Structure 1
Amino acid sequence: MSDIPPLRPLLIERPEDEGAETPATVPPVPDLDIAVPPPRLSRARNSALTRFAMWVFGALFSFVLSVAAWDFVTSLLARDSLLGWIAMVLVGLAIVTAVALAAREMAGFARMGRIDSLRTNAIEAALKADVKAARGVVSGLGALYSARPELAEAQVRLTARGAEMFDADGILGLAEQELLGPLDQAARREVEAAARQVATVTALVPLALADVATALYSNLRMIRRIAAIYGGRSGTLGSLRLMRGVFAHLAATGALAVGDDMIHSVAGGSVLSRISRRFGEGVVNGALTARVGVAAIDVCRPLPFRTLPRPKTSNLVSRALAGLFADADRNEKVK
């Protein structure tokens, strides 16, 4: 027999990792309040067949309408010259009005396209660290807001300090602070006012569909005002395209869901437990309006958020509805 001891399996005890994450210790998933690149506001180019079909049907409609108006005026002239001349003047005024409306819509689309171009150029300049492109974006912003007297001093400071900077991020950040900072504050006030209005009507007006009508009207007006604040004022068709872009951005960011945590953070669980269901619905509708407002700011802003903080939906809702539910809580205590 050999003196060599028999071989045995080697056991190595693995020390427990006290810092290992378990399902119980992993923190909850945070609210995704991230800045997703917004869709372009300017109209996308359609296919050749679609453009040809639109041209054909538009020409046919215009031709039929023109012939009908011509027959109407000539028949009135043959019947009574006074009525014929009145009809001719009215038709002429209608044509002038239609041309003016079309020009306004085209100008609105041009402004939205201009904002799209500035945002795209700013993103490219920041990615490539192109100082020349960044200065071009700043020049475009200056031209866009040249007629805004409240930004005159900011433009002077931007011109003086921008000449001393030689990196793209610094130039764009300075432009964002000087020009877009005051506009962001104005846009936040619009969002808070719209959220408060929607929440108040939902909570206090018992009429059926009144909250729906108020929410639609308030959201459309809020989006148009935010667009006007950032220089993208549009007409009727432009507003519809703008709203479509805002809701497309909402769908892309998944920002249409409102959880109970937001409701409790705004109004407080103790208050909601004592007030009616209508106040809870008011909080939800106000929070949804605030989310639409944040998406509108992302879509209408000519520069992406880089230096300045992006508005938080919870902060906007808290500021907009804190006084409303404080009053409700005070009334409940009095009763």
Structure 2
Amino acid sequence: MTEPRKPRAFRLDDPNVVMADTPVAAAMRRGHVVVTPEPEIFEEVAAEPVPQRPHRSRWGTLFWSAVGGLVSLTIGLSLTKLIDDLFSYAGWLGWLGAGLAGLAALAFAVIAIREITGLMRLSRIEHLHDRALLAIAKDDRDAARGLSRDLVKLYAANPRMARARAAVEAAAGDIVDGADLIRVTERELMGPLDAEAQRIIADAAKRVSLVTAVSPRAVVDIFFVGAETLRVIRRLATLYGGRPGGLGMMRLLRHALGNLAVTGGMAAGDSLISQALGHGLASRISAKLGEGVLNGILTARLGLAAMMASRPMPFDALPRPGVTDVAGGLILKSKEDAAG
């Protein structure tokens, strides 16, 4: 057994110190120290891919802009002809028509401003979400500080967020790493809002489950589920600072359905749905009650997807809620009913 070599100290400029790439005959002379340089190995860490939003087709935008222009021209010409016809019948009818057209134009302008403002708020939420993803991926301190300031401004009018805003502002000057600052901001600002959002989704799931379980008509179920879904989406968007209008609601609904498609859609592969439909539970309860439970679970899934679409930050420091977090009580209630 070879005796282990004892550590030795030497200077690199010592003539008896030779590198391993020196010819072997010269390196192996007695008294020489052979230094074998080891290659530095740097593991190339791939940056976490940042999800990109789908690119909008310019041709599609051009098409809908042209269609909108044609419709506006058609309505304008028809309205002008109508007012001319009213003036031809009687002057007071013409002035009445012109006054009503002016009121309609004013109301349309107000509605358009509100819709544009709502869309701008949603765009701001989406932009904050993308900035958070990028700041976490790059660990950018300056970007994280700017994002924290913008999020504090977003909730500046909410008095219940005063303590969370103060905690984020205090942490912005102490934390060096950008990703850590984003995580602290998420825990402080998004934590209370996430708890409220889960309560909203859970209440909606319970209402849908109860109404569809006792409703005598399927048409009533469809209208109630649709109205409750839109109500949940609006409340979640308002909670996170979006406050959308009609067009904004359509946009959020499209994003929520897109999130559902990414996360598996409404397939019955979810563990909670498997628990509801498996183990002989559906056969031990009435068909109407089982339908109500299933509708409540699907409402919860859509609510969670809308929560992800409305949230200005990705889930990183906080765990992403699942169906069991917002609709677990439906299964427990149905089990108690089946056992009774």
Relative to the length of structure 1, the TM-score reads 0.79
Relative to the length of structure 2, the TM-score reads 0.78
Residue 261 of structure 1: CA displacement? Answer: 5.2
1:65-95 deviation line (CA, Å, top 9, x unaligned): 2122122223323322222222111101111
Residue 262 of structure 1: CA displacement? Answer: 2.1
User: In the alignment, which of 283, 286, 291 is matched to residue 276 of structure 1?
Assistant: 286
* Alignment partners' CA distance in 2, 1:216 and 1:113: 25
* Alignment partners' CA distance in 1, 2:145 and 2:194: 22
User: In the alignment, which of 235, 245, 248 is matched to residue 235 of structure 1?
Assistant: 245
Verify: 1:218 aligned to 2:228, yes or no: yes
User: In the alignment, which of 306, 325, 334 is matched to residue 334 of structure 2?
Assistant: 325
Provide the aligned C-alpha RMSD in A.
2.6
Residue 44 of structure 1: CA displacement? Answer: 5.0
* Alignment partners' CA distance in 1, 2:282 and 2:62: 57
What are the equivalent positions in structure 2 for 1:194-273 lying under 5 Å apart? 194-259=204-269, 262-263=272-273, 265=275, 272-273=282-283
What are the equivalent positions in structure 2 for 1:22-61 lying under 5 Å apart? 40=53, 45-47=56-58, 49-61=59-71
Aligned to 2:218, what secondary structure does the other structure show? coil
* Alignment partners' CA distance in 1, 2:243 and 2:55: 19
* Alignment partners' CA distance in 2, 1:140 and 1:291: 30
Residues 129 and 167 of structure 1 are in contact (CA less than 8 Å); yes or no, is this contact kept in structure 2?
yes
Unaligned regions of 5+ residues in structure 2, if any? 1-48
1:117-173 deviation line (CA, Å, top 9, x unaligned): 111111111111100000111111112112212112211221123211111122111
The match for 1:100 is 110
Residue 215 of structure 1: CA displacement? Answer: 1.8
Residue 273 of structure 1: CA displacement? Answer: 4.8
* Alignment partners' CA distance in 1, 2:248 and 2:115: 7
Verify: 1:159 aligned to 2:169, yes or no: yes
Aligned to 1:302, what secondary structure does the other structure show? coil
User: In the alignment, which of 163, 180, 185 is matched to residue 170 of structure 1?
Assistant: 180
Aligned to 1:209, what secondary structure does the other structure show? helix
Unaligned regions of 5+ residues in structure 1, if any? 1-35
The match for 1:22 is none
Residues 205 and 296 of structure 2 are in contact (CA less than 8 Å); yes or no, is this contact kept in structure 1?
yes
Residue 220 of structure 1: CA displacement? Answer: 1.8
Q: Which amino acid aligns with 2:72?
A: S
User: In the alignment, which of 75, 89, 101 is matched to residue 91 of structure 1?
Assistant: 101
Verify: 1:191 aligned to 2:201, yes or no: yes
Q: Which amino acid aligns with 2:105?
A: I
Residue 189 of structure 1: CA displacement? Answer: 1.0
* Alignment partners' CA distance in 1, 2:274 and 2:135: 42
Residue 248 of structure 1: CA displacement? Answer: 1.1
Residue 60 of structure 1: CA displacement? Answer: 2.5
Verify: 1:116 aligned to 2:126, yes or no: yes
Question: Alpha carbons of 1:212 and 1:58: their partners in 2 closer, same or farther (altered >3 Å)?
Answer: closer
Greater Rg over alpha carbons, structure: 2
Larger displacement relative to structure 2 (263-272 or 83-92): 263-272
* Alignment partners' CA distance in 1, 2:274 and 2:79: 61
The match for 1:70 is 80
* Alignment partners' CA distance in 1, 2:114 and 2:55: 19
* Alignment partners' CA distance in 1, 2:180 and 2:270: 40
Residue 186 of structure 1: CA displacement? Answer: 1.1
Question: Alpha carbons of 1:249 and 1:264: their partners in 2 closer, same or farther (altered >3 Å)?
Answer: closer
Verify: 1:136 aligned to 2:146, yes or no: yes
Q: Which amino acid aligns with 1:150?
A: R
Question: Alpha carbons of 1:39 and 1:294: their partners in 2 closer, same or farther (altered >3 Å)?
Answer: farther
* Alignment partners' CA distance in 1, 2:56 and 2:317: 33
Residue 52 of structure 1: CA displacement? Answer: 3.6
Residues 223 and 293 of structure 1 are in contact (CA less than 8 Å); yes or no, is this contact kept in structure 2?
yes
Verify: 1:299 aligned to 2:309, yes or no: yes
Question: Alpha carbons of 1:250 and 1:163: their partners in 2 closer, same or farther (altered >3 Å)?
Answer: same
Larger displacement relative to structure 2 (260-269 or 237-246): 260-269
Q: Which amino acid aligns with 1:282?
A: G
* Alignment partners' CA distance in 1, 2:301 and 2:50: 16
Question: Alpha carbons of 1:235 and 1:39: their partners in 2 closer, same or farther (altered >3 Å)?
Answer: farther
Q: Which amino acid aligns with 2:123?
A: G
* Alignment partners' CA distance in 1, 2:52 and 2:306: 11
- Number of residue pairs matched? 292
Q: Which amino acid aligns with 2:138?
A: K
